[in-house]
Amino acid sequence: MLMLERMIFERIETRILVGITAFFGILLMVGWVAINEGGRMAAFEERSLARSIERGAALFASGCATCHGNDGRGITGRAPALNNPQLFGYDFGTGEITAQIAKLEEQRDLRTQLPELEAELAAETNPNVRQQLEEEIAAVQKAIDPNFDGIDFDAEIVALQAQYDELAGQMQQAIANGYDPAHPERLVNVGWAGDLYGFLFTTLKGGRPVSSSYWPQAMPAWSQEAGGPMRDDQLEDLVNYIMNWDRGEAWTLADLNAVQQFAVEPARSSGGGSEQQADASPVGTNVRQIMGDLEGVEGDAARGEALFNSQETPLGGVALGCSGCHNGVVAPAAEGLWARVETERLADAALAGYTAEQYVVESIVNPGAYVVEGYQPIMPGTFGEALSTQDLADLLAYIHSLGE
Amino acid sequence: MSVLPFPTILDDIKEKGLRRALYDAVDTTVERVTAGMNIQDIREALRGEKASRRPNPRLTPHADSFWLHMRPSYFNKEVTGIYPTFRLGWLSTYFVFFETITGILLMLWYTPSPEIAYGNMLNILGNVPLGQFVRDLHRLGAEAMVLIVALHMMRTWFTASYKKPRQFTWFTGVVLLFATGLLSFSGYLLPWDQLALWAVTIGASMAEATPAIGKEVNLLLRGAPELGANGLLRFYLLHVLALPVLLFVFLGVHYYKVIIHGHSLPPQSEKIGEDTAKRVPLDKRVYFIPDLLTNELMWLGVTTFIMVVLVIWFYHAPLENHADPQVTPLGTTAPWYFLWIQGALKLGDKFLMGIAFPTALLGILAVMPYLDTAPSRRYKDRRIMITLGLLLISVTTILSYMGLPEFAVSTSAEIEILHELDKEPAHNKMGIIRPVPYEQLVVGWYTTAQFDVPEGEDVDAYLAEFNATIAENSQYEQLVDDLRQTAFTVTNTEPMFEAIPEDAPELEAVLEEFYHMLKEEELELPNAWGAIIITENQDGLKRIDLAISWDGVEIEQGDVVLDENGEPVPLMETVLVPVVDENGEPVMVEMLDENGDVVTNENGEPIMVQATEEVQQRVRRIRVQHIFLHRNAAYFQ
Ligand code: HEM
């Protein structure tokens, strides 16, 4: 100690030298750390994701596996698979083919529609109707895609259909467990605008109370804010664990067929409807056609109210859940809706020529067409498939009755 | 005549030429900044020469500048070396500022809320460049500061520097010790991880033991019955506001007192009962400028250098899992500098040992200079005080040792062993299976029975026999039942334990260690075997199930009950077994209801059921638990 003291402290030069060396040493080391920070931080993120997955796995085993299966492949009739290409939006080809067929059909139909409309126009004398027809013709002309000119639509469709059937043939097991090859992307099916992480997180956070209408037991809310047992960081762990099932481009048909249970998509499911409606067909989304169909159908406001409040189910067999959102906060309130449509909406130049009924029908079957200011375009676009003409008439009667 | 209508440097340039004028300008600025020393003075000082002008310019900064007026212009040569101060007071001060600076940096990324605090820590570690570096510095600095301050106190104890006239200096020092301890402790909670929550919960619950006001004190501290959002906010405010203010105020007083009385000379250097610290003979003067200034700057560099080296290569601040009031970690401890209180708690009542003892100790320390008024500071005259000082050190060390979770905690052996295998990384320790390289976690069923194989016998044959045995005595069934409860899909109906493959030596080492741990606890876990079952859960994620199966023994208050021969008393249970006659046919009897009456069917005939009898049977017990290990979790780094 004394030696050291003599050597270092006694002479001012040594002190200065040692001090300067130390300061430069610090600079060098901090610089060295700084240079390596990028790599270190990346490694840390990787490691903390890995730990998060580990914790998520433990949470899954203790809280989720009883319904979603130990391997996440779902349990028949209990809850859908999460270890599942459909959830990750992996299309084995059938979805793409379906879209191509739909496009071909659309183009083919447009091309047959055009001469029919033109013939109608030639025969029409009423100037109002003529104007409407002219507009429609213009719309059809605009929709015709010249890239499809000269195509043998039917042959193409048959060829694609054959491809589709071949693929679907390899998915028999999955289809039996609820897979719809035409709609292979879960997030698209539910109309989720965000990413998968957000979908999983919010589903865990708030649960899905309505799922009790199509599952024996609803998915409970897991977050403490929603009355569940878990903190948000635990939900994150769980989501990280679920996301770790994603195999990216490596999903195989075997994975698909190993799934025990697929998600049920309420708005599209066709089974389970009440009997007298079993042979009715959905209204679709063509407003002009629907308006024709509605003619002479008597609406029942009482049943409309029951439908609106999810006490009755429409053609689709699954409760509509209108009242869940139409409270004036998430979506415009139902009270006084009709009157508002007549006095406010129809005054908008964009809606010139609409009747109130036409507007409401369009808003139900094609909600994205016009979104009231101050609200988000979140209303599902699937009601055209879920409602029969009678269902729609009943709803209209109910909404009409509220407006007065 | 001036170049411009008012005097400027341009006039100087005109007069003296550019070079000279600029030099003079810089020189004046330097003299202003240093409050008295120009470039030439500094140069002379750093060269170790005598000042060339009078009055001595090296003294003016002490008179005129704010910062240096706090420092004496010269010290006694006898106190500037390592002995007698060991630089400990200086180091304590160093850490006060070191912690303030690193702490302010961390504050930029920290929000005191249970929802986000932990996320903030992850962000600091994974997203803020140099974030981990600064956090490590702050944490290491905090722990070092506690130690250094305590050592500083002990050195003033041993050199009797608390004696007249420095009694009050010592007293303010005790306040500083208190503030330092609490600062470290309050900072402990902020990361909001398991370590933090539970260490502080223990600490805060001691406050509860105070009679009469305990509940209120506790409530005041935590802001709620449970440590939560309010508690975190309060600890945060204590940590960044209240305690630093206390510390700085008392540091001011403390240092003022130190300067006013002068550093006490080594006890031998002055006559008994005299204090000559302020009278420094000319030949003993060491001037602050340049000697102590360069000395301190050097130490600043050297100490920081050491801290940086430690933080880069040797020390990383711990961060455990997110705080969870529902999950009590096994072996919760206070931070090491409070382990002595935890140790004392094991000796007696919560209030007596947890509150009264530390408070009394602090109280006695505070008034010590007013009790020990003997005039002599010489070591040979202070045998009692020096003994007491050494005693204090040894007692706190022993108590701290006793405070370790390993000491005198009675957790049952099976829990202890499984914990040893799989515990979360905490206190720089982790379960021994975690660092096994991922590739060596080969999917399969392994058992410690593998090491029971008698010399020269074939392992596979032995394990086949083992499999058959546990299938027969339904130990396997018991294992599978328990596994199924924990979301484990058992696909095989027969046990299929196998030897660990050769390319997994580290896994084998863990299994062997497991085997030895079971052997060591043979008294509590007779005829035990352990299992490690590895399955693939996801790509890159394996599930490790650990199990211990053993013959139950009677346990009372954590200890095995022994019979008169010193043998453990077996745990028995009563089971109902069907009675059969000598031909193996079931014996039938009339069915009775709860009143003992014969139950009849609608025809009035008694219903016959198979007879059962109660049999005493030794309980076979099992415990399973599992963890998941991800390929990238890198526990081995
Ligand atoms: C944050 C905590 C503290 C700081 C920053 C601090 C700072 C200092 C400094 C810079 C000195 C002069 C240099 C030296 O003697 O090493 C000093 C002296 C002294 N300190 Fe402290 N101190 C602290 C805590 C304490 C404690 C806990 C005690 C005792 C309970 C204490 C008692 C004394 C005494 C008696 C002296 C006078 C020593 C002498 O004149 O030789 N200090 N302190």
* Burial degree of A343 (CB within 10 A; 0-12, 13-18, 19+): exposed
The average confidence (pLDDT) of chain A is 86
Given pLDDT bands bounded at 50, 70 and 90, which one contains residue B273?
A: confident
**Do B292 and B429 have their domain in common?**
no
- Identify whether A86 is part of a domain: no
- For residue B153, the model assigns a pLDDT of 98
**Do A312 and A343 have their domain in common?**
yes
Last residue of a domain, one of A200, A228, A258: A258
- For residue B637, the model assigns a pLDDT of 57
DSSP letters spanning B572-637: EEEEEEE-B-TTSPBPEEE-B-TTSPBPB-TTSPBPEEE-EEEEEEEPEEEEEEEEEEEGGG-TT-
- For residue B407, the model assigns a pLDDT of 64
Which residue matches tokens 């063509």? Answer: A286
Nearest-Cα distance to chain B for A171, in Å, is: 23
Tokens of residue B478, six digits: 């018991």
Given pLDDT bands bounded at 50, 70 and 90, which one contains residue A7?
A: low
ipTM: 0.87
**Do B205 and B267 have their domain in common?**
yes
- For residue A377, the model assigns a pLDDT of 75
pLDDT > 70? residue B149: yes
**Do B59 and B99 have their domain in common?**
no
**Do A230 and A360 have their domain in common?**
no
Q: How far is CA B328 from the centre of its chain?
A: 16
Q: How far is the CA of B292 from the centre of ligand 1 (A)?
A: 18
A50:B122 CB<8 A: no
- Identify whether A29 is part of a domain: yes
pLDDT > 80? residue B443: yes
Which residue matches tokens 């974030």? Answer: B131
**Do B545 and B602 have their domain in common?**
no
**Do B629 and B611 have their domain in common?**
no
Residues 197-236 of A with CB under 8 A from B: 231-234
**Do A169 and A246 have their domain in common?**
yes
Q: How far is the CA of B82 from the centre of ligand 1 (A)?
A: 15
- Identify whether A82 is part of a domain: no
**Do A197 and A346 have their domain in common?**
no
**Do B320 and B450 have their domain in common?**
no
B322:A19 CB<8 A: no
Nearest-Cα distance to chain A for B300, in Å, is: 8
- Identify whether A266 is part of a domain: no
A5:B308 CB<8 A: no
Q: CA torsion, points A334, A339, A341, A345, in degrees to nearest 10?
A: -120
The whole-number average pLDDT for the span A284-297 is 82
pLDDT > 80? residue A373: no
DSSP A351: G
- For residue A374, the model assigns a pLDDT of 75
- Identify whether A271 is part of a domain: no
Please state which of the ranges A140-154, A281-295, B65-79, B80-94 shows the lowest mean pLDDT: A281-295
State pLDDT tens for residues B171-198: 999 999 999 999 999 999 999 999 899 8
Tokens of residue A154, six digits: 């039917």
DSSP B448: G
Nearest residue on chain A to B629, judged by CA atoms?
A54
**Do B46 and B92 have their domain in common?**
no
The whole-number average pLDDT for the span B457-485 is 93
pLDDT > 90? residue B212: no
Mutate to test the interface with B, among A15, A33, A47, A60 (most CBs of B within 10 A): A15
- Identify whether B395 is part of a domain: no
**Do A303 and A248 have their domain in common?**
no
pLDDT > 50? residue A272: no
- Identify whether A365 is part of a domain: yes
- For residue B1, the model assigns a pLDDT of 60
- For residue B624, the model assigns a pLDDT of 96
DSSP H stretches of helix in B329-412: 339-345, 357-371, 383-403
- For residue A270, the model assigns a pLDDT of 42
**Do A51 and A148 have their domain in common?**
no
B118:A233 CB<8 A: yes
Mutate to test the interface with B, among A54, A71, A88 (most CBs of B within 10 A): A54
Last residue of a domain, one of B332, B361, B383: B332
- DSSP, collapsed to helix, strand or coil, labels residue A72 as coil
What's the number of domains chain A is made of? 3
- Identify whether B514 is part of a domain: yes
Last residue of a domain, one of B332, B350, B366: B332
**Do A56 and A109 have their domain in common?**
no
- For residue A369, the model assigns a pLDDT of 76
The kind and range of the H/E element at B533 are strand B529-538
- DSSP, collapsed to helix, strand or coil, labels residue B547 as strand
Which of B78, B85, B92 is the pocket-test mutation for ligand 1 (most atoms within 8 Å of CB)?
A: B92
Which residue matches tokens 């352990």? Answer: B530
Tokens of residue B114, six digits: 């249970």
- For residue A279, the model assigns a pLDDT of 46
- Identify whether B375 is part of a domain: no
How would you label A193-218 residue by residue, b for 16+ Cβ within 10 Å and e otherwise? eeebeebbbbbbbbbeebbeebbeee
**Do A350 and A397 have their domain in common?**
yes
- Identify whether B511 is part of a domain: yes
- DSSP, collapsed to helix, strand or coil, labels residue B556 as strand
Given pLDDT bands bounded at 50, 70 and 90, which one contains residue A276?
A: very low
The whole-number average pLDDT for the span B396-403 is 92
pLDDT > 60? residue B408: no
Tokens of residue B582, six digits: 């000598």
Nearest residue on chain B to A22, judged by CA atoms?
B301
Nearest-Cα distance to chain B for A55, in Å, is: 8
The whole-number average pLDDT for the span B388-411 is 86
- For residue B545, the model assigns a pLDDT of 97
> Rounded to an integer, what distance in angstroms lies between the CA atom of residue A74 and that of residue A72?
6
- Identify whether A263 is part of a domain: no
Tokens of residue B177, six digits: 């010790």
Output A318 or B86, whichever has higher pLDDT. Answer: B86
Sign of the torsion angle spanned by Cα atoms B465, B493, A242, A224: negative
State pLDDT tens for residues A86-101: 999 999 999 999 999 9
User: Quick check: B331 and B405 in contact, CB under 8 A?
Assistant: yes
- Identify whether B130 is part of a domain: yes
DSSP H stretches of helix in B229-270: 229-237, 243-261
Sign of the torsion angle spanned by Cα atoms A276, A278, A280, A283: positive
- Identify whether B630 is part of a domain: yes
State pLDDT tens for residues A149-173: 888 999 999 999 999 999 999 999 9
Question: Helix axis angle, A12-59 relative to B39-47, nearest 10°?
Answer: 90
Output B121 or A216, whichever has higher pLDDT. Answer: B121
Q: How far is the CA of A26 from the centre of ligand 1 (A)?
A: 28
**Do B135 and B117 have their domain in common?**
yes
DSSP B329: P
> Rounded to an integer, what distance in angstroms lies between the CA atom of residue A42 and that of residue A62?
30
Nearest-Cα distance to chain A for B560, in Å, is: 32
Please state which of the ranges A385-394, B123-132, B175-184 shows the lowest mean pLDDT: A385-394
Last residue of a domain, one of A204, A228, A258: A258
B629:A54 CB<8 A: yes
A50:B630 CB<8 A: yes
User: Quick check: B611 and B579 in contact, CB under 8 A?
Assistant: yes
> Rounded to an integer, what distance in angstroms lies between the CA atom of residue A37 and that of residue B85?
39
Given pLDDT bands bounded at 50, 70 and 90, which one contains residue A239?
A: very high
Nearest to A30 among B80, B119, B308 (CB): B308
Last residue of a domain, one of A28, A48, A65: A65
Mutate to test the interface with A, among B298, B319, B631 (most CBs of A within 10 A): B298
Atom of ligand 1 nearest to the CA of B84: 41
**Do A334 and A380 have their domain in common?**
yes
Residue/partner pairs of B96-105 with CB below 8 Å, 24 or more apart: B96/B145, B96/B247, B96/B248, B96/B251, B98/B137, B98/B141, B98/B145, B98/B304, B98/B307, B99/B138, B99/B141, B99/B142, B99/B145, B99/B183, B100/B244, B102/B134, B102/B137, B102/B138, B102/B141, B103/B138, B103/B240, B105/B134, B105/B138
> Rounded to an integer, what distance in angstroms lies between the CA atom of residue A62 and that of residue A125?
73
Contacts (Cβ under 8 Å, ≥6 apart) of A355: none
Max CA separation in chain A (angstroms): 118
State pLDDT tens for residues B522-557: 999 999 999 999 999 999 999 999 999 999 998 887
pLDDT > 80? residue B375: yes
- For residue A339, the model assigns a pLDDT of 82
The whole-number average pLDDT for the span B386-413 is 87
pLDDT > 60? residue A317: yes
- For residue A269, the model assigns a pLDDT of 44
**Do A99 and A198 have their domain in common?**
yes
**Do A181 and A217 have their domain in common?**
yes
**Do B180 and B249 have their domain in common?**
yes
- Percent share of chain B, pLDDT over 70: 99
- Domain harbouring A285, CATH code: 1.10.760.10
> Rounded to an integer, what distance in angstroms lies between the CA atom of residue B103 and that of residue A223?
33
B146 lines ligand 1 (CB under 6 A): no
Contacts (Cβ under 8 Å, ≥6 apart) of A146: none
What's the number of domains chain B is made of? 4
- Identify whether A77 is part of a domain: no
What domain range includes position B210? 76-154+170-332
pTM score, whole prediction: 0.80
**Do B14 and B122 have their domain in common?**
no
Phi, psi of A270 (to 5 degrees): -105, -25
The average confidence (pLDDT) of chain B is 91
Closest residue by Cα to residue B548 from B592, B517, B583, B590: B517
User: Quick check: B624 and B479 in contact, CB under 8 A?
Assistant: yes
How would you label B260-291 residue by residue, b for 16+ Cβ within 10 Å and e otherwise? ebbbbbbbeebeeeebebeebeeebebbbbbb
> Rounded to an integer, what distance in angstroms lies between the CA atom of residue B128 and that of residue B113?
19
- Domain harbouring B252, CATH code: 1.20.810.10
Residues 238-257 of A with CB under 8 A from B: 241, 244-245, 247
The kind and range of the H/E element at A135 are helix A127-143
What domain range includes position A196? 94-258
**Do A252 and A287 have their domain in common?**
no
User: Quick check: A153 and A107 in contact, CB under 8 A?
Assistant: yes
Amino acid letter for position B51: A
> Rounded to an integer, what distance in angstroms lies between the CA atom of residue A177 and that of residue A258?
10
**Do B509 and B576 have their domain in common?**
no
State pLDDT tens for residues B603-616: 888 888 888 888 88
**Do B226 and B129 have their domain in common?**
yes
